[in-house]
Structure 1
Amino acid sequence: MKRYCLGLLLLISLVAFGQSSKTETPADVKKKIEVILDNWHKAAAEANFQNYFEAIADDGIFIGTDATENWNKKAFQAFAKPYFDRGKAWNFKALERNIYVSEDQKTVWFDELLDTQMKICRGSGVLVFRNGQWKIKHYVLSMTVPNDNVDKVVEIKSPLENQLIITLKEKKN
């Protein structure tokens, strides 16, 4: 009985030690997220459809720069596939990134400024840790507009978006 108790105590100690040595700090999580996001953007630049979309959760959402671009993963794959098939999707490189980690370290949210073909864009999103993997659950890409140029941009987009506003209001009612 004594051996059994000692063996059990040793096993519990090893499990407890193993758990504590696997505990990551928020800084460790942030480093992992940096790599995941950099690799995600790299997969698009290399037109690697599989790696790009494996990073997105099955129930993930991608919101693009156009007001009509609010896609679930399947719809986003259908939209993006022709770009990837041509061998050239998009090439975004992070200029600046802020990452925030939840207390339980299973959810992170971030914002980033990106160097893109559209000049500086802002990306923001949420990643979740499920089944031992980080996945992008929600991503929003938006173009930045200098405050001094907002009136010009509004003038350019008004003809298209005025009709969209009417359609969306009617749909809501």
Structure 2
Amino acid sequence: MTRLSVHSFAHLLAAAFLFLNLGGVAHADTDAAFTKQVNAFVDEWHDDAANARMAYFDKIAKDGVYIGTDRTELWRRDEFKAWAKKYFDRKSAWSFKATRRNVYASGDKSLIWFDELLDTPNMGPCMASGVIRKTAKGFEIVHYQLSMAVPNEVADKVTRLIAEHEKAGK
């Protein structure tokens, strides 16, 4: 795991600032054709993982960041690829199916961000958000963050389990 450097963090902040000043936010409903393209790209990305296709990593920008559910899981693309190799050596790495996705874009559509609710067979319901950059070659994922969707009614139990796990030094 590599922590983001001050330079990388500044890069993300600059991208966010630029992105918020490029003509406002366009919601998915404002451009159905563009949203369909974005959804197809993200769905294909998830399908690449479900079928252990290495093309999964080609869809992540070279400077892309992937944040998993464990607090140690913060990787640049190539580190993530090395970590995930053992999963991609099988017929299936992991399976995420979006049951809902909201897509937003800068005015010029060069930066796209989305949030999604996911059905996963191993972790149950998850939520994720991502940032996509549109380049001359197509879309690339710049940032993706996955989290487990914990119902509020059981959050105290989950918090207790995490505390016990941490106290045990695991």
Q: TM-score, normalised by structure 2?
A: 0.77
> How many pairs does the alignment contain?
139
> Helix, strand or coil: the match of 2:155?
helix
Cα offset for 1:86? 1.9
Q: Does 1:60 align with 2:64?
A: yes
Which consecutive residues of structure 1, in runs of 5 or more, have no partner in the other structure?
Answer: 1-24, 165-173
**1:129 matched to 2:134:** yes
Query: What amino acid sits opposite 2:124 in the alignment?
Result: K
1:141 aligns with 2:149: no
8 Å CA contact 1:114, 1:121 repeated in 2? yes
CA RMSD of aligned residues (A): 1.6
- The residue that corresponds to 1:37 in the other structure is 42
Q: Which residue of 2 aligns with 1:159?
A: 164
Task: Quote the sequence identity (%).
Answer: 47
Distance, in Å, in 1 between the alignment partners of 2:66 and 2:34 is: 23
* 1:132-152 CA distance string (max 9 Å, x none): 311000000000111010110
Deviation string for 1:52-106 (max 9, x for gaps)? 0111001000000001100000110011110010222001101000000111110
Structure 1 residue 156: Cα displacement: 0.6
More helix by share: 1
1:96 alignment partner, SS class? strand
Q: Which has the higher contact order (CA 8 A, sep 6+)?
A: 2
Give unmatched runs, 5+ long, in structure 2. 1-29
The 2-side partners of 1:39 and 1:159 are apart by 38
Alpha-carbon contact 1:115-1:121 (below 8 Å) kept: yes
Q: 1:83 maps to which residue?
A: 87
* TM norm structure 1: 0.76
1:110 is paired with a residue whose SS is strand
Q: 94, 100, 112: which is aligned to 2:104?
A: 100
